[in-house]
Amino acid sequence: MKNIVKVSLWLLIVLMATACGKPADTPNKDRADRAKRADDMLWGDIVIGVAWKKDSPFMRGVELATKELNNKNGMMSWRGGRKIRLVKDDRISYADSNKRDYQKFIHKVANSFAANRDIVAVIGHRSSSAAIPASVTYEKYGIVFIAPTSTNLELTNHNFKYVFRMLPDNEKMGEQLAAYCHNKGYERMAVLNDWGAYGEQLANSFIKSAVEKKNNIKIVFHRSFFPRKEDFLVIISEMRKKETDVIAELKKKDRHASVGIDAIFLSTGAKVGGKLIKQSREMGIEKPFVGGDSLEALEFLKPSNSLTAQEVKIIKKAAEKTVVPTVFNEHIFHAQKMIRNLLKENGIESDYQSAAKKLLRDSVGKVDENVVLLTVLDEHVEKVQQFINNFKDEYGEDEEPNRYASLGYDAIHLLAYAMNKAQSTVPIAVATRLRYMQEPWVGVTGVYHFKENGEPKDKKLYFKRLQNGKFEFVTEIHEPEIMQLIDKLKKVQSTTWR
C-alpha cells in the first residue's frame, strides 16, 4: 500500500508537470488533429514510435516484425498496402533513473513523440518508472501506447483509453508464482526483495497470494534491502538463524523435522539477485530460489564494471535450478508434446479443440487462457517456430531470441492486427479494437485479449528453470494446471462429441 500511494502521488506530480502541453496548444486540439491526419492519410507510412535501446534484442524483434509486415504486398490493404515506419528514441536507455532530472528526461522523450502528429502509436519504455509518467502524455495527446514490460499496478489504474500492457501486472504475477510454489508442495518460505517499486510490489503480491487463496504457504522470514545492495551476509545469517528456530519448533511435534524453509522467493533485478544467490550458496544455503520475471536476465548476465567474467560464471553456477516466469517459451514443442500425451492418456485423443471451444464458449465473464491456448496450440507452435527461424535468418544462427525480442515482435504484430481489424490507423479506433476484441489474438508470447482498462485478460505465464546456464521450459511444472483443464474437458466431452 505504501508503494502504491508513493506512485500515485508521483503520478499526480507528473500530471501537473505536463499540464502545459508543450507538443500542441491544447491536448484536445492535438488529439483531434492527430486523428484527422490518420483518417485522411490514404497513402504514406504508418508512423510508430519506439522508446527502447536501439542495439538490443527488443529492437531486433520490433524491426523483424516491421520488415515482415512491410514485405507483405497489401499490408493495410484497405489503404493501398501502406508501410510501417519506425521513429526510434533510446535516450532513456542511457539515463540514470536515480538522478533527480530523470522524470524531466522521460517527458522530453514522450513529448518528442507527441509533437510528431503523424505518430499514431508508441511502443516501449522498458521500466514502469518510465512507462507510467510517459503514459500520461500519450493519453493526453491521443496516442496508442503499448507497454511491453511494465508490470506496476499503477499503469492501468486510471481508466485510460489508449494505454495497454502486455505482461500480467505484479499482482497477477504474484498469484501465479504463489500457485506454482503451492503446487510444488512448499509449506514454509522466505521472501527477500529490494525496496524498489517492482521488488516491493511483487513481493507483497506474492506474500498475499501465498498466505491466502488456499495456497497455505507460511512466510517465516521476510527482509527488504536497498536496490543497489551488494553485501547480503547479515540477511543470510538472519535467515539461517530463523530456519534453525523454525526447525526447533517443528521438532516439538515431529522429532524428525529437518527443514524449516522450503524455498526462497526473490524479487529484485538479475545483477543484485545473482550476487545474493551467490553469497547464499557460499554460506551453505542450498534452498531453491523462485523469482520474478526480471531474474530471467540471469541467463544473459555479462561482465561489466560491477561484475567480472569469473563472477558471472560463479553466479550462473550458483543460480542453477532457479525458477522464473516468462511469456516466451522457445521450447513450445515440449509443451505441445506434453499436452498431447496427457490428452491421450486421459482418453481425449481427437477433436479436443471442439471440446475446448465449447468450454470457452460456455465460460461466462471469464476467459481462461489455458482453454484459449489449447484451441490455438498448433497455430501458436507454428508461430513460435517461424519467429525463431526468421530471427536467426535475419541476425545469425548464434542469435537466440529472448523474451524481450519476442515482446517487441508481438507488439508490432498486435498493433498491425488491430489496425487491420479496425481498417483504420486512427488511434481511438485502434485502441477500441484492442479493448473489445471479438476473438483473442495469438502471438509468439501467447494469447492476447484485453480488459477495458488495457490490462491483459488472464494472461498465463510459463515457468522455466535455470539448467546449465540457460533457462529451459520444464514440463512437470505445468502438468497440474493442464490436468485441471483436462478434467474440465472431460465434463464437456459427451455433450460436444455426441
- Residues 494 and 355 reside in one and the same domain: yes
Residue 177 shares a structural domain with residue 308: yes
Q: How far is CA 93 from the centre of its chain?
A: 19
Residue 316 sits in the same domain as residue 359 = no
Domain tally for the chain? 3
* pLDDT tens, residue by residue, 11-25: 444 444 444 445 445
Residue 403 near residue 328 (C-beta atoms within 8 A) = yes
CA-to-CA separations, 258 to 183, 241, 333, in angstroms, rounded:
21, 14, 39
Quote the domain boundaries for residue 263: 171-325
pTM of the model: 0.87
Task: Give the Cα separation of 413 and 69 in Å (integer).
Answer: 8
The CATH code of the domain that includes 296 is 3.40.50.2300
End position of a domain, from candidates 295, 325, 355:
325
Tell whether 374 is covered by a domain: yes
- 422 domain-assigned: no
Q: Residue 223 half-sphere exposure, CB side, CA atoms within 13 Å?
A: 16
One domain for residues 125 and 20: yes
Question: Domain check: are 487 and 343 in the same one?
Answer: yes
Burial of 385 (0-12, 13-18, 19+ CB in 10 A): middle
Q: Which of 325, 354, 372 is the last residue of a domain?
A: 325
CA distance 169 to 450: 13
Whether the CB-CB separation of 351 and 488 falls below 8 Å is answered with no
The answer on 495 and 362 residing in a single domain is yes
In a domain, 445, yes or no: no
pLDDT number for residue 13? 41
Is 342 in the same domain as 314? no
Please indicate, yes or no, if residue 443 is contained in any of the structural domains.
no
Count other Cβ atoms within 10 Å, centred on residue 104.
Answer: 12
Q: Which residues contact 453 (CB under 8 A, 6 or more apart)?
A: 156, 157, 159, 160
Whether 411 is in a domain gets the answer no
Is 205 inside any structural domain?
yes
pLDDT tens digit at each of 498 positions of the chain: 445 444 444 444 444 444 444 544 567 788 888 887 887 776 778 999 999 999 899 999 999 999 999 988 545 555 567 889 999 998 877 766 666 777 888 999 999 999 999 999 999 999 999 999 999 999 999 999 999 999 999 999 998 999 999 999 999 999 999 999 998 999 999 999 999 999 999 999 999 999 977 789 999 999 999 998 999 999 999 999 999 999 999 999 998 889 999 999 999 999 999 999 999 999 999 999 999 999 999 998 888 888 899 999 999 999 999 999 999 988 777 777 777 777 778 777 666 666 666 665 665 445 566 665 665 567 788 899 999 999 999 999 888 899 999 999 999 999 999 999 998 999 999 999 999 988 889 899 988 989 999 999 888 888 999 999 899 887 777 777 777 777 777 776 655 544
Of 46, 65, 51, 48, the closest CA to residue 445 belongs to 65
pLDDT, one tens digit per residue, over 477-489 is 777 777 777 777 7
Query: In terms of domains, do 203 and 289 share one?
Result: yes
pLDDT value, residue 43: 76
**Domain presence at residue 434:** no
User: Do residues 145 and 224 both lie within one domain?
Assistant: no
CA distance 279 to 272: 11
Residues 158 and 289 both lie in one domain = no
Does one domain contain both 124 and 253?
Answer: no
Q: Which of 335, 324, 336 is nearest to 296 (CA)?
A: 324
- The residue from 263, 292, 325 where one domain ends is 325
In a domain, 337, yes or no: yes
- How do residues 303-330 score in pLDDT, each as one tens digit? 888 889 999 999 999 999 999 999 998 8
Residue 288 DSSP label: P
pLDDT for 494 equals 58
Q: Are residues 154 and 8 in the same domain?
A: yes
Which of 466, 477, 462, 480 has the alpha carbon at shortest distance from 168? 462
Instruction: Tell me what pLDDT residue 362 has.
Output: 63
